[in-house]
Amino acid sequence: MFRISILNKFLLRRFLSGVGLVIFVVGGIILAVTFVERLPSNPTALDALLESWMRLLEYIPMFLPPAIFMGTLLASYNMIKSSESVIISSAGRSPYQIARPFFVGAALIGIFTTTVLNPYAVSMNAKKITSSHLKLVDNSIWLRETGDKNYITMNASGGLSHIGDALVFNDVTIYIQDENFKITERVNAANVSLTQSGLQTSNASVWGTDGIIHRRNWQFKTHLTPQTVLDRYLQPDQISFWKLPGFIHKMQSVGVIVRGHQVQFWTLLFLPLTMIAMTVLGVAFSQTRQRRNYNFGAKFALGVLTCFALYFIVNMFNALGATGALPPILAIVAPSLIIIAASGIYIASFDTV
């Protein structure tokens, strides 16, 4: 039966407490700033708090790697300050052996973020989808569907909102063409709702083949559904990790370029490796032979600057993967492996066991 030693449990608690403190502080600051920012635009403080919470969920993947790094530094500093690292080293533990529980904790955080937190964040934010979440063409939403006997083209220049199970498009122009591409109907409306049963609106301006404008309610049965529209237009980070493989396969089958979605999938899949890489980097920066007058502030500041520099390099690799200059999987894995290799060599110089 697999059992974790008391020392490994102690080191794991130290790591999780350090990372947890950093995440709590950074997350609290983001939540507070976002809450104050959103308060004037919401009817109640509770609505503003809920919207701030959803925004925080979007920011977590951005600040989680630096938080893991800073949490590792903090945990290591506390152990050095209390002389616990000296006691553990004197018991025959090498720096690598001491850091192994840290790596396990980082991997668990990455797995939880990918498999639980990401789907939860996507599901929460999907309830309030707006145009800011979509990839637009000419700042407008364009939809086109080919039927058996007609074609429908819709342009929504005013964006959309997600209300219940329906998508509501604003400032809409719809063209309906026959099999010879002749326009048989044109519809202008302030807003058009898309539900499972099709498109519908009230008080629309409808031009027929007779050239006369009619003001009336209008509806049109279509194969489009709110989900198919969102699948077509949502950005990669608006799709759950569990749905990304099927979405990528479906889009590839119709010839749509999905490099951005592939980068997002590999980023989430290898997030545990990224967390381990940031932990290894933190362990490397925390190594010291000084037991007194340990200048934690200088090392912490240098480490943070290095961490953010690496963060920009990782984003550069992501951009290369999204543009096709590098294979997406290589663009995601390569930076983490480089960080682990470079930091591991430095840690090995302190390994006397």
Q: pLDDT for 214-233, tens place per residue?
A: 777 887 787 777 766 666 66
Judge whether residue 127 has pLDDT over 80: no
Judge whether residue 236 has pLDDT over 70: yes
Measuring CA to CA, which residue among 332, 353, 335, 334 is closest to residue 98?
A: 353
Largest Cα–Cα separation, the chain:
93
The model's confidence at residue 353, banded by pLDDT at 50, 70 and 90, is very low
- Greater pLDDT, 2 or 139: 139
Q: What percent of the chain has pLDDT over 90?
A: 7
Please report which residue ranges of 91-202 form alpha helices under DSSP H.
95-112, 118-125
Mean pLDDT of the chain: 79
Judge whether residue 73 has pLDDT over 50: yes
How far is the CA of 99 from the CAs of 89, 278, 281, 322, in angstroms? 12, 12, 11, 34
Predicted local distance difference test score (pLDDT) of residue 312: 82
Predicted local distance difference test score (pLDDT) of residue 246: 82
Q: What is the pTM of this model?
A: 0.72
How far is the CA of 7 from the CAs of 10, 89, 123, in angstroms? 5, 12, 39
8-state DSSP, 114: I
Strand partners, 150: 178
Judge whether residue 126 has pLDDT over 70: no
Which long-range contacts (C-beta less than 8 Å, at least 24 apart) are formed by 97-102?
A: 97/353, 98/11, 99/279, 99/280, 99/283, 99/347, 100/8, 101/8, 101/9, 101/11, 101/12, 101/15, 102/11, 102/12, 102/15, 102/72, 102/75, 102/279, 102/282, 102/283
Helices 328-348 and 259-269, axial angle in degrees (round to 10): 30
Query: What is the 3-state secondary structure of 241-294?
Result: CCCHHHHHHHHHHCCCCCHHHHHHHHHHHCHHHHHHHHHHHHHHHHCCCCCCCC
The model's confidence at residue 273, banded by pLDDT at 50, 70 and 90, is very high
Judge whether residue 50 has pLDDT over 90: no
Predicted local distance difference test score (pLDDT) of residue 129: 56
Judge whether residue 291 has pLDDT over 60: no
Query: Contact 200/224 with Cβ under 8 angstroms?
Result: no
Residue written as token pair 């903090």: 74
The model's confidence at residue 134, banded by pLDDT at 50, 70 and 90, is low
Cα separation, 261 vs 259, in Å, equals 5
What is the token pair recorded at 351?
Answer: 């390994």
Cα separation, 323 vs 317, in Å, equals 10
Cα separation, 265 vs 260, in Å, equals 9
Predicted local distance difference test score (pLDDT) of residue 1: 39
How far is the CA of 276 from the CAs of 16, 113, 271, in angstroms? 13, 14, 9
Q: What percent of the chain has pLDDT over 70?
A: 84
